[in-house]
Amino acid sequence: MPITPATIVLQLIAFGVAGAVSLAVGFAWQILRCWDIASGSELQLRLERRTYLISTLVGFALGAESLSLLLFVHTAESLSSQFVGAMCATGVLNANAFGFPTLLLKIAVFFLAALWLLLNRVDNRGYDYPLVRVKYGLLLFIAPLTLMELVSQTSYFLKLEPEVITSCCGSLFSADSQGVAAELAGLPARPTLYLFYGMAGLIAGAGLASWRWPRLGPLFAVSSVLGFGIAIAAIIAFLSLYVYENPNHHCPFCLLKAGYDYVGYALYLPLFMATAAGLGAGAIAPFRRIASLQEVIPREIHRLIWLALVGFGLFYGLGTWLILRSNLILLGS
């Protein structure tokens, strides 16, 4: 196991998040079973006092968890020079069976954590805490994922052996290989490009419609999630080729290297931000008719839609600039 400041911090975050969320699970069950804002019982008063502490603790933990996704990918990239055969984070993540599952778990927890933080923010602005059951119900779903992430990440780091030869990104993200990565790398460039920009139009249309009619928020959430998936597929299928100016190099992780001006961070950060904001706008839209949130939620939806559209705009704008400035002619005339 390579012991570096980054791996130690990642483990501390994982243990802290899993511990904090696990401690909150018992309280969440109490909330789901016993919460009654109209009651003046001793139990209700105790729950109301404790919810401030628990929500603050969980909020800090999930905030740290969201940042750990970026740190995990950066750490995998920084360790690539220590592994034989690894050219980038792909080789490090592929060094044992726990690398990519850990990354996928972190992505899932990132979006769920962002959603929980939003629900908590909105709930705290309602005088009767109308979403308290919703957010603690979601926490019960997040808790096992954080434990799975802790186990997976710990197993991944413990089983990392620099002397073991790992595969490079060229063998994984190749149309001639097997697996999901190879399937994405083998997508035809022209139809994928049309789908990529068609999705941009759908996201913009859904966002503007949801701004005008907040009840359409779930539509914007669905379009944001679909846009995220298509964006990742597009990066692998054709966008990365324009950056590398190599028609056979499909790796989405080499974009994070200094040799390519760290352009991957400039692509992924607004994409993840926009997707989380779009998902959040759709998640809170169904609660807009709750009396204590009738003024809060429309403003929050507008703020989230604005964030999402700006994030997607930055992503698509940068992606288009990377295509136009490239010397690679991929689609011909």
Q: DSSP readout, 249-273?
A: ---SSGGGSGGGTTHHHHHHHHHHH
The two structure tokens encoding residue 151: 């186990």
pLDDT for 90 equals 81
Token code pair at residue 27: 């309280």
Neighbours of 91 (CB within 10 A): 26
Residues 231 and 150 in one domain: no
Report the alpha-carbon distance of residue 297 to residue 123 in Å, rounded. 10
Q: Are residues 151 and 174 in the same domain?
A: no
What is the spatial distance between Cα 100 and Cα 172, in angstroms, rounded to a whole number?
Answer: 12
Count other Cβ atoms within 10 Å, centred on residue 192: 17
Residue 95, pLDDT > 70, answer: yes
pLDDT at position 333 over 60: no
Q: How far apart, in whole angstroms, are the C-alpha atoms of residue 246 and residue 332?
A: 14
Rounded to whole angstroms, the Cα distance separating 71 from 8 reads 11
The pLDDT, as a whole number, for residue 152 is: 96
Per-residue model confidence (pLDDT) at position 311: 97
Over residues 55-77, the mean pLDDT reads 92
User: What pLDDT score was predicted for residue 123?
Assistant: 92
Average pLDDT estimate for 311-326: 95
The reply to whether 242 and 97 lie within a common domain is no
- Asked whether the predicted pLDDT for residue 37 surpasses 70, the reply is yes
Q: How confident is the model at residue 167 (pLDDT cuts 50, 70, 90)?
A: low
Residues 65 and 136 grouped into a single domain: yes
Mark whether 196 and 147 lie in a shared domain: no
37, 232, 213, 21: which is closest to 117 by C-alpha?
21
**pLDDT tens digits, 110-119:** 999 999 999 9
Q: Do residues 154 and 45 both lie within one domain?
A: yes
Residue with tokens 């130690």: 8
Judgement on whether residues 189 and 152 belong to the same structural domain of the protein: no
Residues 323 and 177 in one domain: yes
Q: Do both 173 and 33 map to the same domain?
A: no
CB 13, CB 154: distance < 8 Å: no
Same structural domain, 163 and 227: no
Whole-number mean pLDDT of the chain? Answer: 89
Residue ending a domain, among 150, 167, 184, is: 167
Whether 70 and 140 map to the same domain: the answer is yes
Q: Are residue 156 and residue 19 in the same domain, yes or no?
A: yes
Range scoring the smallest mean pLDDT among 59-68, 175-184, 316-325: 175-184
What distance in Å separates the CA atoms of residue 333 and residue 330, rounded to the nearest whole number?
A: 9
Domain edge (last residue) among 109, 143, 167: 167
Among 139, 167, 195, identify where a domain stops: 167
Domain extent for 125: 1-167
Q: Give the residue among 310, 312, 281, 314 at the shortest CA–CA distance from 298.
A: 281
If one counts the domains in the chain, the total is 2
pLDDT digits (tens, 9 = 90+) for 253-304: 889 988 888 999 999 999 999 999 999 999 999 999 999 998 899 999 999 9
